[in-house]
Chains A and B, each alone.
Chain A
Amino acid sequence: MQKVRFVATTLSWTLRAGCVAHFLHEYVYEFTETRGESMLPTLQAQHDYVHALKGYRYGRNLDIGDCIVATKPSEPTQRVCKRITGMPGDIVLVDPSSSSPLTNTPNEVILHDGFNKYIKVPDGHVWVTGDNLCHSLDSRSYSSLPMALIKGKIVAANSMDKGFIDAAGRLRFWNFRWITNTFEND
Chain B
Amino acid sequence: MSAAVHIKTILATLTWVPVIYTFTEHVYQPYFITGRSMTPAFNPGTSTMTNDITMVQKFGLKSPDSLHRGDVILFRSPLSPEKILTKRVIAVGGDTVACTHKYPKPTARVPRNHLWVEGDNEFHSIDSNNFGPISQGLVVGKVVNVIWPPSRMGADFSGGGRNALVE
A149 adjacent to chain B (CB < 8 Å): yes
A124 touches B136 (CB 8 A): no
Contact of B81 among A15, A74, A77, A146 (CB under 8 A): A146
B87-127 vs A, CB cutoff 8 Å, 1 = contact: the mask equals 00000000000000000000000011110000000000000
A124 touches B137 (CB 8 A): no
A16 touches B113 (CB 8 A): no
Interface residue tally on A, bucketed by range: 20 to 34
B24-40 vs A, CB cutoff 8 Å, 1 = contact: the mask equals 01000000000000000
Q: Which residue of B lies closest to A21 (CB)?
A: B18
B15 adjacent to chain A (CB < 8 Å): yes
Instruction: Give complex CA distance A22, B22 in Å.
Output: 8
Max count, chain B CB within 10 A of own CB: residue among A16, A20, A76, A149: A76
Shortest CB distance B99–A (Å): 17
A147 adjacent to chain B (CB < 8 Å): yes
A63-84 vs B, CB cutoff 8 Å, 1 = contact: the mask equals 0000000011111110000000
Instruction: Determine the chain B residues whose CB is within 8 A of the CB of A146 once the complex forms.
Output: 76, 78, 81, 134-135, 138
B135 touches A124 (CB 8 A): no
Instruction: Give complex CA distance A75, B136 in Å.
Output: 8
Shortest CB distance B31–A (Å): 17
Interface residue tally on B, bucketed by range: 20 to 34
A6-24 vs B, CB cutoff 8 Å, 1 = contact: the mask equals 0000000001100110110
> Total A-B pairs in contact (CB under 8 Å)?
69
Instruction: Give complex CA distance A73, B82 in Å.
Output: 18
Instruction: Give complex CA distance A146, B81 in Å.
Output: 7
Shortest CB distance A118–B (Å): 16
Instruction: Give complex CA distance A20, B14 in Å.
Output: 11
B22-68 at interface with A (beta carbon < 8 Å): 22, 25, 62-63
Contact of A76 among B19, B111, B137 (CB under 8 A): B137
A71 touches B137 (CB 8 A): yes
Contact of A23 among B18, B111, B138, B139 (CB under 8 A): B18
Shortest CB distance A28–B (Å): 12
Q: Which residue of B lies closest to A149 (CB)?
A: B137
Query: What are 16 A-B residue pairs whose CB atoms fall within 8 Å in the complex?
Result: A15-B19, A23-B22, A59-B81, A73-B114, A73-B135, A74-B135, A75-B113, A76-B113, A77-B62, A123-B79, A123-B80, A125-B78, A146-B81, A146-B134, A146-B135, A148-B77
Residues of A within 8 A of B (CB): 15-16, 19-20, 22-23, 26, 58-59, 71-77, 122-125, 146-150
Known: A15-B19, A19-B22, A147-B81. 12 other contacts (CB 8 A): A16-B19, A19-B21, A23-B18, A23-B21, A23-B22, A73-B135, A77-B63, A122-B79, A122-B131, A146-B78, A146-B135, A149-B135
